[in-house]
Amino acid sequence: MSKNRKVIITCAVTGSIHTPSMSPYLPVSAQQIADAAVGAAQAGAAIVHLHARKPEDGRPDQSPDAFRAFVGDIKQRSDAVINITTGGSPTMTVVERMQPALQLQPEVASLNMGSMNFGLFPMLGRYKDFKQPWEQAFLEGTRDLVFKNTFADIEFMLKEGSANGTRFEFECYDTAHLYNLAHFLDRKLATPPLFVQTVFGILGGIGTHPDDVSHLKRTADRLFGEDYVWSVLGAGRAQMPIASMAAAQGGNVRVGLEDSLWDGPGQLAQSNADQVRRVRGILEGLGLSVATADEARQLLQLKGRSNVKF
């Protein structure tokens, strides 16, 4: 493991999985999301991954105007790479999910690489008091929910995004998703270097055992060779252990309140920057350096912050 290797930290700022009742620190309004993203960048995140929410009740909002309310502010106040979700929420259509990335043309957009069961309902056993009526219903609904990302959906998003020079954070929740990505690489619809974000700990996807991490890394190595940049995110309590395992194996890391609300056992993270600082401490303790935003742009061959539409 080279001590000179630069590790990209991505921070997923708010997401659509957790609900506002679960943590008072989850950013909801445009100003809160902008401030959280800028704080994460100042703490060391090279990339900020962004969802939007309706400020009146915290519901996921995939309207382009909701993103316009904060992406320009983040760009003005930091040099972070802005990564806009095309995942949105599992309850949205693919056309709806694609609109912010299609209109704003960011440097990076996320792209889920396969349909899957997406079980959030176990959270109902941990959270009982919900402030908004949609929260409990949303979690309960995931007992019978397939997060739809068909080959046609993925092809649509790849073609539309690539036409604007947007590159993708390929979110792979299981082994088959890596093979799906290899399919699109073979068809030259996905182009190297692939930014492969392997996701651990969502019910319906792969688990969080160290063997799971090594298995996806071995599979990606075999399928993509030198043509990819590997990153990981661990959901919930697995966030920092998964990041540590991957960093030791040559990977990059993703943290943030989208993926976990915690900053240690029983301790809610009070900001996204808390988690960035914690994972940065782990990386630097391993003798690794944290990549700047411009170094991430170079590693991922991005089009640059001046070529977006915000």
How do residues 241-274 score in pLDDT, each as one tens digit? 999 999 999 999 999 999 999 999 999 999 999 9
pLDDT at position 91 is 87
3: confidence class by pLDDT, cuts 50, 70, 90: low
Would you say 67 and 100 are in contact if contact means Cβ atoms under 8 Å apart? yes
Q: What is the pTM of this model?
A: 0.97
Domain definitions of the chain by residue range: 6-307
- pLDDT given for residue 4 in this prediction: 73
Per the CB < 8 A criterion, the answer to whether 110 and 87 are in contact is yes
For β-strands 146-147 and 116-117, DSSP reports them as antiparallel
| pLDDT at residue 136 greater than cutoff 90 | yes
Q: Which two tokens stand for residue 243?
A: 């990041």
The tens digit of pLDDT for each residue in 193-219 reads 999 999 999 999 999 999 999 999 999
Give one DSSP letter per residue of 16-35, joined into a string.
SSS-GGG-TTS--SHHHHHH
- Rounded Cα distance, 176 and 182, in Å: 10
CATH fold, domain 6-307, is: TIM Barrel (3.20.20)
- The tokens describing 111, both together, are 């792209």
Residue 1 has what pLDDT? 47
